[in-house]
Amino acid sequence: MKWRVVELETHDAYLNMALDEAVSEDIMNGSSPPTIRFYTWKPGAVSIGYFQSMKDEVDLDTCRELGIDCIRRWTGGGAVYHDAKREITYSLIAPASLFPKNIIKSYEMICGWIVNGLKTLGIDAVFSPVNDVLVGEKKISGSAQTRREGILLQHGTVLFDIDLATMFSVLNVSKQKISDKMIKSAEERVTSIIKQIDVDKKDVYDALLRSFTEDKDFEYGTLSMKEMFRAKELARLKYKTDKWMFSR
C-alpha cells in the first residue's frame, strides 16, 4: 500500500486538529491514501485530551494574554503545551488493519520510528509504554491514539526545546506562583533534543522523516482541495466552538 507523506506545514491549532479529522474521513471512504503528516503550530497552543475539562486543565486568561490557542483533541491523553518554535508534531492516519490490534504494541511500532530517528542523531531514546519516548528517565516525546470505524489516528510531539515557565503558566498545574523548585522538578522528568545534542531543528525533522518513511512505498504529496475545504469547515463549525471546547 502506498503512503502519502505531507512535509512540514504550519497551521493554527484548529486547522491542525481539523485536518486530522478531514484526512481520516477521506481515508475511511477510500478517497485518500494512508497519510503521514508533519506540522508545527502558529500561534502556540494548548491541546487537551478528549475526556478532559478545558477549565480544569488550562489557564484561559493567561492563554488569552499570551495569544495562545486552546483546543480539544479528539484523541485522549493529557493537556499539552505546543510551542510555536520548539517542537515538531507528527500525525499518522491509516487503516487500523496495518497495525497491531494490541494498543501498546501499536504505540511501540509507531513510536519506534521516533526512537529510530533520534538514534540516528546520536540520542539514546527508548519507547516507554504506554505512549512515551524517553531519554534516560526523561520524556522527550508523547503521543495519543484513537481508532474509529477502522481508521487509526496517532499524533504526537517531539520536543526540540522546551519553555517550562510558559508551559506552567498556561496549564493549571498549580494556583501558586511558579517556583524554581517546580521548574527544577519538571527538568528532572522532561528533556529536549537540544539538551542532548547540538543540532538544527531541520536536521531533527529530516531524521524523523527518514525514519517514518523507511521501508514504506510512499510519495510526497499535498492535502487535497477537498480535505482542506472540509478541514476549514470543521475548524469553523466544530473545533473553534464553545460547544466542542467546553463539552466537558
User: Is there a contact between 26 and 221 (Cβ–Cβ < 8 Å)?
Assistant: no
Cell of 179: 517556583
Predicted pLDDT at 75: 96
Q: What is the pLDDT of residues 48-60, one digit of tens each?
A: 999 999 999 999 9
Cell of 219: 510519495
Predicted pLDDT at 178: 55
pLDDT higher than 60, residue 176? no
C-alpha to C-alpha distance for 248 and 230, rounded to whole angstroms? 25
CATH code: domain 3-245 is 3.30.930.10
On average, the pLDDT of the chain sits at: 96
Cell of 42: 502558529
Q: What is the pLDDT of residues 108-154, one digit of tens each?
A: 999 999 999 999 999 999 999 999 999 999 999 999 999 999 999 99
What integer is the mean pLDDT of 14-28?
A: 98
Residue 39's DSSP bridge partners are 9, 89
Q: What is the pLDDT of residues 155-175, one digit of tens each?
A: 999 999 999 999 989 999 755
Cell of 102: 494490541
Residues ≥6 apart with Cβ < 8 Å to 229: none
Residues ≥6 apart with Cβ < 8 Å to 70: 13, 45, 46, 47, 48, 54, 58, 60, 63, 245
Predicted pLDDT at 184: 72
What integer is the mean pLDDT of 65-79?
A: 97
What integer is the mean pLDDT of 15-42?
A: 98
* Domain chopping of the chain, boundaries: 3-245
User: Is there a contact between 121 and 68 (Cβ–Cβ < 8 Å)?
Assistant: no
Of the chain, the percentage scoring pLDDT greater than 90 comes to 92
Q: What is the pLDDT of residues 190-247, one digit of tens each?
A: 999 999 999 999 999 999 999 999 999 999 999 999 999 999 999 999 999 999 999 9
